[in-house]
Structures are given as structure tokens and as C-alpha cells.
Amino acid sequence: MTDLRFDERRVPTRVEPQAAIAEIVVGDGGREAVTRTAADDMRVALHESNHAVVGRLLGQPLGGVNINASDGFSGLCWGPTFQSKFTGGPSPSSLCAQIGRMMPAPGESRNSAADMFLHVHNRCTELVAGSVGGALFLPGLPWDAVDDRAQERALASLICSSPEAAKAFIDFCAIEAAALLRPREHIVRPLTKTLLIRRTMTGAEVDTIIAAAVSAKSAEDERQRRADWETRRASAVRASA
């Protein structure tokens, strides 16, 4: 049976559920702090918030989020074992190439790789969420998240038999991400606003903002339900009179 486990201490990237990841938000090496506008900051914060929200909706652990440009990245969203510098580990693409050699070949049972298939689905959905949410919640086209796209293709290649199948799978993940994000703008917006102020947040702080947004939405929904009921009751009284 193929062993698909990985040593997180050796691989400082979040290619498997518990390791860390850094996502580039724009092309050509990221948009550095000296050239960023307030609108740029908003787009970066929303992008990373989308990653974080979808990751949590999928039950993925979250270490933290950062929107300070550094080391070629415009923003970072990482898992619980993130280290301050990415040193000594292979790139996600090269790591996926190594893993690919251990995946079941045609005709072999895929039972031993079931966790990997699930992880690729969750991870790709989380990756596409940054750009998908940008298209949903901000005007104009989202920035080209080059690193996200590269990681999506590398991960999809682990479970797909052709580039065409990988593209269709990534498109499916984008539709799934949109379905998760569309009804949760009330969570993404407060998280984006807080991230713009704090610049860096831990996973626990992100969860606190998410919980507060969910609670506020529930309270507003209940208030609206009571108001609608009172409107119908008053209408019935007038009709009977």
C-alpha cells in the first residue's frame, strides 16, 4: 500500500491539511507596500479573507492572515504550522510532482489515496476562493493570483488524468467556492474591515470575527422576522376592521 503521509517539519508549505501555505495575490512578484493604494489594500484584504472564510467553512485549520507586502507576497494566509520564513522546502509544484509518483496508477485501487483526493478538493476550493470572492464582492476583474493558479494546477494534476480534466476540476472548485461565499458576504466584509486595521490576525482572532458576524446576522434575521410578523398582524387587524 502506498504511504501518502508527509513530514511537515521538512515541508513548510500547506500541501497537506496541517502544513502552512503562502498565497501570492497579484502577478509579477506581488504589489509592494510602497506602490499600494488604499484600494489595493482593500482588494488584498478581501482576497485573503475569502481564503480564510472558505478554509474555515471546509473545516481547514487556520494559523493566521497577513496583508503586509513582503518577500514578493502581497498577502499571506497560512496554516497552524507556518514558519516565519520559507526556507529549505520544495515548492508546491515540485512537491506535488514527488507525490504524483506515489499516487495509484490506472487499474490500481484508490482506497489508500482517498484522503489525498479529499484534500485536493478542499485545498483547491480554498485556493480559488480568493479570486472568486474578489469577483463577487468587488467591481472590476480580480488580480491575477499567479501562485494560487500554479498551486491549483499542481494539486489537480494529482487526481486528474489530463490537463483538460484538471481545468474542469478547478472550475468545479470555483463554482463550489462561489456557492460557499455568495451567502456569506456578511462574514467576509467584517473580516476584511478588521484585517485592514490590524494587518495581521491569528486564526483564533479570525474565528472571533466570524463568530461575531454570524451572531449579528442571526440577530438581524430575527429582528426582521419579528418586524415582518408584526406587519402581517397589523394588516390582518386592519382587514378584519
Q: Is position 221 within any domain?
A: no
Q: Is position 24 within any domain?
A: no
Number of domains present in the structure of the chain: 1
DSSP designation for 69: -
What 3-state class would DSSP assign to 73? Answer: strand
Q: Is position 124 within any domain?
A: yes
Q: What is the pLDDT of residues 174-202, one digit of tens each?
A: 999 999 999 999 999 999 999 999 999 99
Q: Is position 6 within any domain?
A: no
Q: Is position 22 within any domain?
A: no
Residues of the chain where predicted confidence (pLDDT) is lower than 70: 1-34, 71-72, 81-102, 104, 107
Q: Is position 44 within any domain?
A: yes
Q: Is position 236 within any domain?
A: no
Q: What is the pLDDT of residues 153-168, one digit of tens each?
A: 989 988 888 999 999 9
pLDDT at 35: 72
* CATH number, residue 41: 1.20.58.760
CA distances from 104 to 1, 3, 58, 109, 226 (A): 9, 11, 25, 7, 56
Residues in Cβ contact with 121 at an 8 Å cutoff, skipping those fewer than 6 apart: 173
pTM to 2 decimal places: 0.76
The residues facing 103 across adjacent strands are none
SS percent in the chain: helix, strand, coil, step 5: 60, 5, 35
pLDDT at 70: 73
pLDDT at 80: 79
Q: Is position 194 within any domain?
A: yes
pLDDT at 77: 85
pLDDT at 173: 96
Interaxial angle between packed helices 114-137 and 146-159, expressed in degrees from 0 to 180 and rounded to the nearest 10: 150
Give the range of the structural domain holding residue 76, as residue numbers without chain letter.
33-205
The secondary structure of 84-151 as a DSSP string is SS--SS--HHHHHHHHHTTSPPTTS--GGGHHHHHHHHHHHHHHHHHHHHHHHHSSSPPP--HHHHHH
pLDDT at 97: 65
